[in-house]
């Protein structure tokens, strides 16, 4: 997967994760991109561990895994910020 694909996937996953968990973190486009890319890495790792798949491109399974990972990262951020 190329850099441009990671950027697009990261933006989509970060945007969707922020819509699923509103009000947790504020930030702009760069924050959303970083959240999505880190989420894609986390989701891809967990998906590979449990045998669900991997983040391999701009397909529905990759997007689902990336959003799942981004939601986990965003929820973890909320827990750390609360402490």
What is the rounded average pLDDT of the residues 19-37?
A: 78
**Number of separate domains in the chain:** 1
Statement: residue 67 has pLDDT above 70 = yes
Under 8 Å between Cβ of 55 and 66: yes
Burial of residue 23 (CB within 10 Å: 0-12, 13-18, 19+) is exposed
Q: Pick the more confident residue, 47 or 2.
A: 47
d(CA 20, CA 48): 23
Degrees (nearest 5) of the Cα angle 37, 26, 39?
Answer: 20
> Residue 8's domain spans which residues?
3-21+28-82
């Amino acid at each position: 997967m190329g850099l441009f694909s990671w950027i697009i996937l990261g933006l989509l996953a970060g945007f969707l994760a922020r819509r699923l968990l509103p009000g947790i973190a504020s930030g702009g486009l760069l924050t959303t991109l970083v959240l999505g890319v880190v989420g894609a890495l986390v989701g891809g790792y967990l998906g590979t561990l449990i045998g669900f798949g991997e983040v391999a491109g701009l397909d529905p399974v990759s997007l689902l895994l990336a959003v799942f990972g981004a939601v986990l990262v965003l929820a973890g951020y909320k827990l750390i910020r609360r402490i």
